Amino acid sequence: MTRRLVVERRLFFVFAAFMLSVPWLIPALASVFWVNVITELLIWSLLAASANLLFGYVGLLSFGQALFFGFGMYGVGIGITQFGLSFWPAFGLGVVSAMAMALVCGIFAVRLTWHYFAIITLVFSLIFYFLALTMKPLTGGDDGINFTLPPTFSFGGTQWSFTSTNFQYFFILATVAACFYLMHLVVRSALGKAFLAIRDNDARASLIGLNVYVLRLVAFVMAGFLAGVAGALFAFFGRYASATYMFYQTSGEAVVWAVVGGVGTLLGPVVGTSLLILLREIVSTHWEHYSLIVGALAIIVVIVAPRGLMGLWRDWFDRSRAREQGETQAVPHTEPRTEP
């Protein structure tokens, strides 16, 4: 076994041990404030993952993921306040309505690609943002709707609900982890390979017999599912649903988090979201104008690491492998993918 493989394997074990242990220890190590920050961060990384699934794996740049996030939120909020649903049916309503909306939008949107796709998803999300603002009796408009949280599980007298910060954290951690595992399965499956084929060259993909339109639609609905789960979790987390989260800036942030972390990698969105949100939380306690730091960091990351932080990590790894093999010439640098 070469030394490189040993290093790789060791790093993998360290990483796996980190992923398996640290998230579960956080409530024991951190204060309630930080547990809540990390809970929120997990939800946002799921939204970033939905932007990443479309952009990083299918090559469609969506500026409308906030729409499905919003449908997840409102599915939960309206389900609880208007229909008196309990936790799980409300959760289901949120996710299903987000997916249904993604299907309807997708039927039209995936006919277009690149700039046109970005603009049409932006336009669709704006339409529903303004609709949500006007339909005040149903959506509460700008103020949103507040609701009291139904318990998640109840067995006789014992109940578990989001009123416990730790339960809330573990529930959201498990759900987000399950979604990322699902995405991992999809990406590694034949379907995932088909997505990559479309991303790299859609004409060739259609020539080898892939139905590009249907596959793009499938990816769009899957991304709607991820965003919908994120929105539903966020509604439970904040105990409210509001139209403000459906504005295009939320969609834009999801894209930014994904690109900073590294698109086309499974965990890139988690890395990017963690970096930017933790930084925001750390700086904002000391300095009111923390946006300056976040903005500057976003710029520095894309200049220094055009393939995102995960790309930087891989480059470092490739270089260390090159040293290992005693190559004198530099590793051929792969250019960042420009246009799908």
Q: Which residues bind other proteins (CB under 8 A)?
A: 55, 61, 108, 111-112, 115-116, 118-120, 122-124, 126-127, 130-131, 133-134, 248-249, 252-253, 255-256, 259-260, 263, 289, 291-292, 294-299, 301-303, 306, 336-339
Residue 336 beta carbon to other proteins: minimum distance, rounded to whole angstroms: 6
Cα angle 186, 187, 188 (rounded to 5 degrees) comes to 90
Instruction: List, in order, residues 6 or more apart from 120 with CB less than 8 Å away.
Output: 64, 108, 109, 112
Residue 255 beta carbon to other proteins: minimum distance, rounded to whole angstroms: 6
How many angstroms separate the Cα of 63 from the Cα of each of 17, 120, 271, 277? 35, 8, 20, 20
Classify burial at 185, counting beta carbons within 10 Å of its beta carbon; exposed 0-12, middle 13-18, buried 19 or more: exposed
Residue 59 beta carbon to other proteins: minimum distance, rounded to whole angstroms: 10
247: helix, strand or coil: coil
Residue 115 beta carbon to other proteins: minimum distance, rounded to whole angstroms: 7
217 or 233: CB nearest other proteins: 217
120 or 145: CB nearest other proteins: 120
Tell me the C-alpha distance between 337 and 254, whole Å. 19
Report which of 36, 48, 86 is spatially closest to residue 238, judged by C-alpha positions: 36
2 or 201: CB nearest other proteins: 201
165 or 244: CB nearest other proteins: 244
Residue 289 beta carbon to other proteins: minimum distance, rounded to whole angstroms: 5
172 or 256: CB nearest other proteins: 256
